[in-house]
Amino acid sequence: MIKTKYPSQSEIIMNEIVMPGDTNFHGTIFGGKVMSWIDIAGAMCAMKHCENAVVTVHVDDIDFISSINIGELVTVKASMNYVGKTSMVVGVKVEKENPLTGEKQKTTKAYLTFVSVNKNGEPQAVHRLEPQTDDEKRRYANAQERTKSKKELRSRLK
């Protein structure tokens, strides 16, 4: 049964630490590792919203704002921004923290689209999303606009 859910019901906060095996030859985190954490946190958020299995269908607008050093703490926050009929747009923000000074900084942000699927991989309808706070309403409107313009661009560039 389709119901209405709030973004706060599917929010994910994932904590990690940068280990030596996560780094590139500059001694900072490998970008692919950050993308993997973003995809995992985003998928958990989407699964919580639709209460079903999901697949990643699109990654949009990923920005690497600052690097993350070995030994730093990483927080990956994922929140449901917008839903279509079977698709869900999740916003993910990554923040680093120096454990010695407590200094925090935003490092990465991205928007991912997931589709709810049944066991045959066919798209399934998802629950409605009702943004409540001003931030949630702004994220909803922005994601709706991005989804619409991406669809138009895709059909124009075919």
Ligand X SMILES: CC(C)(COP(=O)(O)OP(=O)(O)OC[C@H]1O[C@@H](n2cnc3c(N)ncnc32)[C@H](O)[C@@H]1OP(=O)(O)O)[C@@H](O)C(=O)NCCC(=O)NCCS
- Please report, as ranges, the residues that interact with ligand X according to CB under 6 A: 55-58, 84-87, 113, 115, 117, 121, 123
Strand pairing report for 87-97 and 12-17: unpaired
> Which one, 14 or 117, has the nearer CB to ligand X?
117
- Find the shortest distance in angstroms from Cβ 122 to ligand X: 7
- Closest residue to ligand X, judged by C-beta, is 84
Q: Provide the minimum distance between the beta carbon of 144 and ligand X in the complex, in angstroms, as a whole number.
A: 11
Pairing between strand 73-83 and 12-17? antiparallel
Instruction: Report in angstroms how near the CB of residue 53 gets to ligand X at its nearest.
Output: 9
* Three-point CA angle 12, 10, 130, nearest 5°: 135
Of the two residues 86 and 144, which places its CB atom closer to ligand X in the complex?
86
Q: Residue 107 or residue 113: which is nearer to ligand X going by CB?
A: 113
Least distance in angstroms from the C-beta of 86 to ligand X: 3
Question: Terminal CA-to-CA distance of the chain, rounded, Å?
Answer: 36
**Under 8 Å between Cβ of 2 and 127:** yes
- Report CA-CA distances (Å) from 137 to 39, 42, 51, 74, 121: 23, 19, 22, 27, 31
Nearest approach in angstroms of CB 78 to ligand X is 15
Task: Specify the residue, 11 or 123, whose C-beta has the smaller distance to ligand X.
Answer: 123
Measured at the CA of 6, the angle between CA 85 and CA 146, to 5 degrees, comes to: 50
Phi, psi of 13 (to 5 degrees): -125, 115
